[in-house]
Structure 1
């Protein structure tokens, strides 16, 4: 029940350094994460899961605040397109948009090879809904480097292509009829799944569900993105089988995914 889960979370978080050494406790923690991390604990849980090196990265963040970035113009352009209906980001040049700009700009200086990629703004925005910008920057750095997201955002996008190829192989194996339909319509995996990997579903699914996905992503890694992708395709297979490519492109699955807004 919720009360006992809160007690368990309190115990685990108050003794995290010892708990992570005990398999039985971490198995319990993984079960709790799959049930959904309570909003109150989520900022701390996310920081613990990514093992964010707070002190060192925070110091760099403060320094980056004083340095201009060559990506500033394009970042400013995209800020208003990130969670435009969310109260925290709705106001032009408000606290939310400025925090978003600060974190993205700082990362573009921290990792000049990647610089700025549009999809990253939605992940940063999700973090900022749960924690101050300095902490969000630390968690984002860990996500980029320890969860291979920077590989997805690299200019050559080789790893993004690899992920989409792996997903296509899974669709071919697990959903052969749907795969044949996609093939016959010329509906390539990149047409629907690139956004899944670039934004971790933050632009495709309701916010409450996206938070649950991030809980598991930070605990288990990229595998959960493949699993959710296959689950969504499987759930909507009958409808997708009736659509021509033009219709699939037009809906971009968004109309289908609205059923998750519960």
Structure 2
């Protein structure tokens, strides 16, 4: 479902399987990622709905364009949340996002998703279905083509912008 991707990244960062398991348990229990994977995927469904609501306010034309092109945005976003960005973004950028989530709380992940989508608004609006699908599937390679330094820099800027995004109160209060 995605926990394997999170565990794999943790193993890349540490040689200690025991340490990785401890960090994974902390991410699941204390940060709240476990609710993404519980039966019925309650937090995933809540975050996908919140993304729709937030984009309806900040970028309604993008949602209309996706509907017109037949793009099911949630199909892509669920992977972003379930893999905690490891499957779609360069690893230095993922680590910057994880740092921000650890500092600010899990709603920061929602802010990051909305920030990524709104920052790509003009490009996505100019694309047809196949190009949008390709853009989402190859995002990691395009961001990382300038190497690790640029991805880290992009992560910092992304988190800075994401901090300005307002999360619906029912999401923030659940924290």
1:222 matched to which residue of 2? 106
CA contact (8 A) 1:185 1:245 kept: yes
**Residue 252 of structure 1: SS of its match in structure 2?**
helix
Query: In 2, distance between residues paired with 1:256 and 1:177?
Result: 25
Q: Normalized against structure 1, the TM-score is what?
A: 0.51
The answer on 1:125 being equivalent to 2:125 is: no
Match of 1:242 in 2: 126
Task: Report the counterpart of residue 161 of structure 2 in structure 1.
Answer: none
TM-score, with normalisation over the residues of structure 2?
0.74
CA distance in 2, matches of 1:217, 1:252: 22
1:177 corresponds to which of 50, 61, 67: 61
Match of 2:153 in 1: none
User: What is the CA distance between 1:197 and its match in structure 2?
Assistant: 0.5
Residue 196, structure 1, aligned to residue 94, structure 2: no
User: 2:158 is matched with which residue?
Assistant: none
Question: What do the CA deviations read for 1:161-208 (whole angstroms, capped 9, x no partner)?
Answer: 111110111111111211221222232331220111101111111111
Q: SS where residue 179 of structure 1 aligns? A: helix
Q: Gaps (5+ residues) in structure 1?
A: 1-116
Distance 1:255 1:216, change over 3 A: closer
Report deviation, 1:136.
1.0
The alpha carbon displacement at 1:250 in A equals 3.5
Question: What's the C-alpha RMSD, in Å, of the aligned pairs?
Answer: 1.9
Secondary structure of residue in 2 paired with 1:187: coil
Question: How big is each residue's C-alpha offset from its partner over 1:222-257, in whole Å with a ceiling of 9 and x where there is no partner?
Answer: 222122212211221111112222332244252476
| Structure showing greater relative contact order (alpha-carbon pairs closer than 8 Å, 6 or more residues apart) | 2
Give the equivalent residue in structure 1 for 2:25.
141
